[in-house]
């Protein structure tokens, strides 16, 4: 039985009626051609079922055609949005996106990233890292862009203004003439202390009592464990700002179990605008931190750096308040 020969780049060029150099430049995104020429190449690729040999491409061009993305917790919908946004641009630019779940494990982060960087042309990092790991990443020979990490010299990053994010949500709640507001934070995050300081300052100016809580991790389960302390206290707040939507949803589920009505007895708001936040009951008021947009912006920076272009070291997107039922007092 004769084994069917795999189509080659020469076969694609012959069917498309162009040179092998034209097909190669098109496949490797090295040059743009007229729409008729590019259409002929795409049709030839589809007709022949041609698949590029990425190992050969890496040897010939010195490029892998892949971008790496390390996220802190792939189960967190915020990071899922980041992946979705980055992957959309990667596909448009003929790159593959390789995703690694860093799994909130600081001791193994460097090891996991070391495995990834040998296979990619550039790297995106979305998550909390130690200064040691950040210093190591900035010394790599491939472009690295951080998502959400605060600005520092020598680091290229995209993110969202932490103070502005919390200001928008706090000022919205202030308008409801509340006497006390609690913040359920996560001390393991670098933005946590910034948020707390900003909330204390804002509420002090409006004579609103500020109550502070902390979860062991920013998850639904961790929120459920602290819920009785937050929701059944004799000094329960009139409203809660949760550090993210996951924590807010965990508190809302337990409030239902405790017979605490939302928003009549207590208002709850989150941060992130995860897809599920509009489907819980009541729907969750939140701040949209625009994960998909951050993913898109970050990978565009990496691709520009790969092409030798100059990029702005830090860019922030504006957060957006999404008002839903969980804070609408009757």
- HEC letters along 134-158: HHHHHCCCCCEEEECCCCCCCCCEE
Residue 228 above 70 pLDDT? yes
Higher pLDDT: 6 or 255? It is: 255
Beta partners for 123? Answer: 68, 144
1: confidence class by pLDDT, cuts 50, 70, 90: very low
Residue 2 above 50 pLDDT? no
Q: How many CB atoms lie within 10 A of CB 160?
A: 21
Q: CB of 20 within 8 A of CB of 10?
A: yes
Q: What pLDDT sits at residue 27?
A: 75
Average pLDDT on 294-318 reads 94
Alpha-carbon torsion (303, 89, 316, 200), positive or negative: negative
Rounded (10°) CA dihedral 246, 247, 249, 250: 120
Question: Which of 41-50, 155-164, 220-229 is most confident?
Answer: 220-229
Distance CA 60, CA 217 (A): 46
Distance CA 121, CA 303 (A): 9
Q: What pLDDT sits at residue 29?
A: 61
Average pLDDT on 20-34 reads 79
Average pLDDT on 120-142 reads 87
Q: What pLDDT sits at residue 170?
A: 96
Give backbone dihedrals phi and psi of 271, rounded to 5 degrees, phi first: -140, 125
Among the listed ranges 65-74, 151-160, 224-233, which one has the minimum average pLDDT value? 151-160
Q: CB of 255 within 8 A of CB of 326?
A: no
Please report, for residues 76, 188, 246, the alpha-carbon distance to residue 150 in angstroms, rounded to integers and kept in the order given.
Answer: 20, 15, 22
E-strand stretches of 51-208:
66-71, 96-101, 122-126, 144-147, 157-160, 180-185
Taking every pair of Cα atoms in the chain, the longest distance, rounded to a whole number of angstroms, is 85
314: confidence class by pLDDT, cuts 50, 70, 90: very high
Q: What is the pLDDT of residues 168-220, one digit of tens each?
A: 999 999 999 899 999 999 998 889 999 999 999 999 999 999 999 999 999 99
CA angle at residue 213 from 207 to 214, to 5 degrees? 145
Among the listed ranges 8-17, 220-229, 254-263, 276-285, which one has the minimum average pLDDT value? 8-17
Question: Which of 123-132, 143-152, 242-251 is most confident?
Answer: 242-251
Q: What pLDDT sits at residue 309?
A: 93
Q: What is the pLDDT of residues 52-109, one digit of tens each?
A: 665 555 555 567 889 999 998 888 899 999 999 999 999 999 899 999 998 766 678 8
């Amino acid at each position: 039985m004769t084994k069917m020969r795999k189509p080659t780049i020469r076969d694609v060029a012959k069917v498309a009626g162009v040179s092998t150099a034209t097909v190669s430049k098109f496949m490797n995104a090295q040059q743009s051609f007229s729409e008729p020429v590019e259409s002929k190449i795409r049709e030839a690729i589809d007709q022949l079922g041609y698949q590029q040999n990425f190992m050969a491409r890496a040897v010939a061009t010195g490029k892998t055609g892949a971008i790496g993305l390390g996220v802190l917790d792939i189960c967190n919908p915020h990071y899922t949005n980041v992946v979705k946004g980055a992957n959309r641009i990667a596909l448009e630019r003929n790159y593959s996106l390789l995703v690694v779940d860093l799994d909130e494990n600081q001791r193994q982060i460097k090891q996991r990233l070391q495995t990834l960087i040998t296979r990619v042309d550039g790297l995106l990092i979305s998550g909390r890292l130690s200064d040691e790991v950040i210093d190591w990443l900035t010394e790599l020979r491939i472009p690295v862009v951080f998502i959400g990490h605060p600005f520092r010299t020598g680091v290229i990053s995209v993110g969202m203004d932490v103070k502005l994010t919390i200001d928008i949500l706090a000022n919205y709640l202030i308008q409801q003439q509340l006497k006390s507001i609690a913040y359920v934070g996560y001390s393991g995050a670098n933005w946590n202390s910034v948020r707390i300081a900003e909330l204390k300052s804002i509420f002090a100016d409006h004579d609103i009592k500020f109550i502070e809580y902390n979860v062991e991790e920013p998850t639904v389960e961790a929120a459920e464990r602290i819920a009785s302390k937050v929701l059944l206290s004799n000094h329960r707040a009139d409203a809660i700002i949760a550090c993210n939507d996951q924590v807010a949803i965990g508190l809302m589920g337990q409030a239902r179990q405790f017979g605490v009505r939302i928003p009549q007895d207590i208002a709850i708001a989150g941060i992130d605008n995860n897809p599920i936040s509009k489907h819980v009951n009541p729907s969750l008021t939140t701040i949209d931190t625009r994960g998909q947009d951050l993913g898109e912006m970050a990978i565009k920076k990496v691709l520009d750096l790969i092409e030798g272009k100059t990029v702005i070291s830090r860019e922030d997107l504006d957060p957006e308040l999404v008002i839903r039922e969980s804070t609408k007092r009757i």
